Structure 1
Amino acid sequence: MIDAVRSPILGGSRIHVVPLPPQLVGDLRHALGDPYVVTEPEQLATYDCDGLTGWRAQPACVVLPGSGEEVQAVLRLCAREEVPFVARGAGTGLSGGALPVADGIVVSVARLNRILEIDLESERVIVEPGVANLDVTRAVSAAGYFYAPDPSSQQVCTIGGNLAENSGGAHCLKHGFTVNHVTGAKVVLPDGELLELGGASIDGDDGPDLLGVVVGSEGTLGIAVEITLRIVRQPELVVTRLVAFATVDAAGDAVSRVVAAGILPSAMEIMDRITIEAAEAAYAPGYPDGAGAVLLVELDGVAAQVEEDGVAVETHCREAGAFEVRTASDAAERALLWLGRKGAFAAMGRVSPDYYVQDGVVPRTKLPAVLRRIDELS
């Protein structure tokens, strides 16, 4: 019997289910070891949602395999018993991608957290799915490289989760999404078979782009146990500017002007008044007092082009009504400015314990009007 209890948030449900068949649980313990099979309700509660907390479902079991072979063993057992499974990285996603099936199994990749190979000559890094996003850049930064996709949760979100969701980040405007930086993957299919897709080369065969299908599939096609990433050279120059406006309408107009001029910043992010105040209270990044909106614009690349684009960006922002333009003086100040933006989600908890966060897609020409309406509603 399934007992569903209404959640007070968004009308979601917290669902409790009867245990899995003892034979399956026993086989899972035999395959992984007792510590890596979780069935206690108190421990299962940790896995009942991801960053989209409005809907929760308690899984019947959580397993933590420590190798690709153990992932294969788990999925074979699930297939044998016709039990659904859901893969889970760090649980930071906002789309419910790691939401458990109430009568199923959560396969956590937390123990699959090794960087297996760094090949600077080929500009490739091979990782397990539980490696944190930012750890890839940390591993190669001393050699002058970085991993471009940078979700706001990059300190904790995993490469496996990024692959499942095709994550982007502030710098996707120029550098693209996860799909643009994954060249290969070893994927365990739902029946336990291991499928190898792509590799170190960007040149594939003439068949269907199966790797492109897997990236963004939210784990519905299988679980990646090894992922080959493309890393890129650090640019010659990086310039980050903070631009303050009286209104979000003016900030939105500035974005439209910059993009229409053919300038391609590596990142361009707007924060409204409420977000500015929350971020300032939490991290003190030094955003201007009284600003109705702040625009963070980052340019990177060849120094001469960055400097030329920087002048143009400031001109367009001033024409849109910017009352302050500030350039980060060094990497530390740049990181602090971005900390306020990337930490805004968590900082909102200081404003209200009940809030709902989602990513929206707005046509560039409609951005000022949409931001104005959001500001009116808030």
Structure 2
Amino acid sequence: MSDSTSSTLVPTLLNDLISALGVENVLHRHDELVVYECDGYVIEKNTPDIVVFPTSTEQVVSVVKLCNKAGVPFVPRGAGTSLAGGTLAVGGGVMICLTRMKRIIEINTRDRYAIVEPGVVNLWLTRALGGTGFHYAPDPSSQSACTIGGNVATNSGGPHTLKYGVTVNHVRGVELVLPDGTVVETGGINEDNPGYDLTGVIVGNEGTFGIATKVIVNLTRDPEAGRTLLGVFDSVDAATETVSGIIAAGIVPAALEMLDTLMIQAIEQAFHFGFPTDAGAVLIIEVDGLDAGLDHEAQAISEIVRTHGGSVAKSITWRTRKEPEYVAIWKSRKSAFGAIGRLSPTFCTQDGVVPRTKLPHILRFITEVGLRHGIRIANVFHAGDGNIHPILLFDERDPDQVARVLKASHEILDECINVGGSVTGEHGIGVEKMEFMPKLFTPEDLAAMVVLRNTFNPDGRCSPDKMLPGGAGCIERKGPGHRASA
């Protein structure tokens, strides 16, 4: 190979991959590969030796078999929006990028399902359903970029998880290329299938069980109408107490999102929606369903907001999700991470979960951690199900800032565990949170997970060193902040 190539793998592997996929679907020069050295988790970087872009299940099978023949690890990747390092090529190897497998194969509104390839962007599917009266319910904040395959890998949620559930609640079946190249199909177009629920096992596996090449998803009927309210509060505590008050009243919002002052200011600078920049916090509260009764629910929510010292700055009545004011408020919310770029060159987003009643405590704790480590932290999160997303602002070029961010992140996640929560709600474990698994699970629990992983992935060659600490498939890592060269 020439000096300009990054690959130090078995010499024949690159040529075999080019023969199988075509030269236009294989990258191996270092200047091409550096783009793929990290995903949305920028603290750790590992450059793959080769990146391939299969366009069919058959090509994925070919790549997997060639990697096995050469004894080389491989990792699937979608759009690279993972916030936990789930798509890092730890130790190098071959990255299988699925973005060119982007066909919506079938939409069947009569039986309420769609069949898509893994590279289909989440929002593309809902747009394709426009005018049919249906949509795809899981809506991660990154839905304009993230892929269905990536959503399946991490069991993604989103703002409307509170009412509609996470990805696993909307997947009927998966076509999966196992780590040895065998193709299996789980579930199917029917909503009920006999036997073990292998689809439920596969959703959330973070690429450690194989590579999804087709996904059958449920389609959800559009609500008849909705009400979206913007509650404004002087303090984070008042907003979090309101969250508990709404749920305690027996109201199940479609969405219940919270933003703090720093996040409000960033969004307002970017989008000028009309968020009050002097507010301590705002809540985006949405109810939907049959039109009859929604006014009553909206009034009840408004009363709860006022009871906790807040006010309702906006109340949007809508019949479709295309109405301009509705689109604007959700564009502002879902563009929050992009808006953070106005405040800091780099950020690290955490994904803890706590009981709703512990939200006031954990947010105060996050503030204390930020002050202790000299790190600015913005908060925008799914308050309705206690899924927090503290965004730690820093400059990755400064090793001291990186070290402080890591310490702060670990303290926040430890406290989530201490109050009866978890370290992830939808971002996954990836490489970032493996060390927390023994804090969440007993040795017996982890051993059972290893048995399951090894059943699918006995050689540990597919997505090595992800999710589970130690054991098969774990290779030496240099630690956060390391930039591995190929």
Q: TM-score, normalised by structure 2?
A: 0.73
Q: Which amino acid in 1 is paired with 2:25?
A: Y
Aligned pair partner of 2:148 in 156, 159, 174 = 159
Partner of 1:368: 360
2:12 counterpart of 1:23 = yes
Q: State the one-letter code of the partner of 2:182.
A: E
- Determine whether 1:233 maps to 2:216: no
Q: Is 1:348 aligned with 2:346?
A: no
Map Cα deviations across residues 203-254 of structure 1 (whole Å, 9 max, x no partner).
011x221111110001111111111010111001121111100011100000
Alignment match, 1:326: 314
Aligned counterpart, 1:291: 279
How far did residue 29 of structure 1 move?
0.6
Q: 2:476 corresponds to which residue?
A: none
Q: Is the 8 A contact 1:86 1:98 kept in 2?
A: yes
Matched residue, 1:213: 201
Which deviates more from structure 2 when the two are superposed, residues 27-36 or residues 281-290?
Answer: 281-290
User: Is 2:256 aligned against 1:261?
Assistant: no
- SS of the residue corresponding to residue 27 of structure 1 reads helix
CA contact (8 A) 1:246 1:323 kept: no
- Which of 72, 93, 101 is the equivalent residue of 2:90? 101
- Looking at structure 2, the residues matched to 177 and 148 of structure 1 have their Cα atoms a distance apart, in angstroms, of 8
Whether contact under 8 Å (1:272, 1:375) holds in the other structure is: no
Query: CA shift at 1:148, angstroms?
Result: 0.4
* Correspondence for 2:159: 170
What is the percent sequence identity of the aligned residues?
A: 47
* 2:118 pairs with 1:129: yes
Partner of 1:60: 49
Which amino acid in structure 1 is aligned with residue 360 of structure 2?
A: P
Letter in 2 for 1:210: L
Deviations 1:239-293 (A, max 9, x none): 1111100011100000010111121101000000000000000111111231110
- Corresponding pairs, count: 362
3-state secondary structure, aligned to 1:356 = strand
CA distance in 2, matches of 1:356, 1:45: 20
Q: 2:329 aligns with which of 307, 322, 337?
A: 337
Partner secondary structure for residue 303 of structure 1: coil
CA separation in 2, counterparts of 1:88 and 1:263?
Answer: 39
One-letter amino acid of the counterpart of residue 253, structure 2: P
Instruction: Determine helix, strand or coil for the equivalent of 1:355.
Output: strand
> TM-score scaled by structure 1?
0.93
Match of 1:45?
34
RMSD in angstroms over aligned alpha carbons?
1.4
2:299 to 301, 311, 314: 311
Distance change (3 Å), C-alpha of 1:18 and 1:25:
closer
Q: CA-to-partner distance for each residue in 1:285-318, whole Å, 9 max, x for gaps?
A: 1112311101001111111232222111111111
Contact residue 302 and residue 312 of structure 2 kept, 8 A: no
Partner residue, 1:148: 137
How far residue 325 of structure 1 moved from its aligned partner, in angstroms, is 3.6
- Partner residue in 2 for 1:6: none
Which of 249, 268, 280 is the equivalent residue of 2:237? 249
2 CA distance for matches of 1:204 and 1:97?
30
What is the distance in 1 between the residues matched to 2:367 and 2:233? 13
Residues of 2 paired with 1:215 and 1:305: CA distance? Answer: 36
Using the alignment, how far apart are the partners of 1:225 and 1:80 within structure 2?
A: 21
Tell me, in whole angstroms, the C-alpha distance in 1 between the residues paired with 2:367 and 2:295. 33
Inter-CA distance 125–264: structure 2 relative to 1 (3 Å threshold): same
Larger displacement relative to structure 2 (268-277 or 100-109): 100-109
Conservation of the 8 A alpha-carbon contact between 1:183 and 1:200: yes
Pick 1 or 2: higher relative contact order, CA cutoff 8 A, min separation 6. Answer: 2
User: CA offsets per residue over residues 48-100 of structure 1, 9 Å max, x none?
Assistant: 11101111100111000011100010011111122111100000111111111
Per mean C-alpha deviation after superposition, the further-off stretch among 266-275 and 303-312 is 303-312
Question: Which secondary structure does the structure 1 equivalent of 2:348 belong to?
Answer: coil
